[in-house]
């Protein structure tokens, strides 16, 4: 596995490309039955200004966390702030149609770059889970991402 994340200031950005429309990729990152395949399900009333509950389906104990939807602009931008036992997470998903497909950029607005060596491999894993869930291939193993990617992400600081 080759790490792909870039750090600009305190924004960690990872991208993936899909041979699919933005609407289709948007459904993969916003519909509860589809997010359950690669990240976890969620419940509540989606939309800007709402708070939803998200279950981390691939974490030990499958914990729930609250996420506030700061902006929801289908099928281009989703901005969330989530709170869990690890702290506060401000995330944006940005979709752009390019070259006959869609590029998905996940931007994690880090409060501190001190955690990038843990956060980066985690997002690599989850985004590759998204790819696998869409392709119908086996889901990756987190042990292939961490700790092997830790040094790369430490080097971004």
**Two tokens at 130?**
């998204």
Q: Give the range of the structural domain holding residue 86, as residue numbers without chain letter.
A: 6-154
Is residue 70 assigned to a domain? yes
Residues 148, 60 contacting (CB under 8 angstroms): no
Reported as a single tens digit per residue, the pLDDT across 62-115 is 999 999 999 999 999 999 999 988 789 999 999 999 999 999 999 999 999 999
- Count up the domains in the chain and report the number: 1
Three-class SS of residue 141? Answer: coil
Question: What percentage of residues in the chain have a pLDDT greater than 70?
Answer: 100
We report the CATH number of the domain holding residue 22 as: 3.30.530.20
- CA 153, 53, 70, 86 torsion: positive or negative? negative
The whole-number pLDDT of residue 103 equals 98
Is residue 91 assigned to a domain? yes
């Amino acid at each position: 596995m080759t790490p792909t994340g870039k750090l600009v200031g305190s924004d960690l950005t990872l991208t993936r490309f899909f041979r699919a429309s933005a609407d289709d990729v948007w459904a993969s990152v916003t519909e509860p039955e589809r997010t359950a395949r690669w990240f976890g399900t969620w419940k509540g009333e989606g939309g800007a200004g709402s708070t939803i509950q998200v279950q981390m389906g691939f974490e030990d104990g499958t914990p729930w966390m609250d996420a506030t939807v700061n902006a929801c602009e289908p099928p281009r931008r989703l901005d969330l702030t989530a709170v869990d036992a690890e702290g506060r997470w401000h995330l944006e998903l940005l979709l752009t149609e390019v070259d006959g497909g869609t590029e998905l950029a996940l931007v994690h607005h880090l409060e501190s770059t001190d955690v990038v060596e843990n956060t980066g491999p985690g997002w690599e894993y989850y985004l590759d889970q998204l790819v696998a869930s869409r392709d119908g291939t086996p889901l990756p193993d987190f042990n292939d991402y961490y700790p092997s990617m830790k040094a790369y992400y430490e080097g971004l600081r």
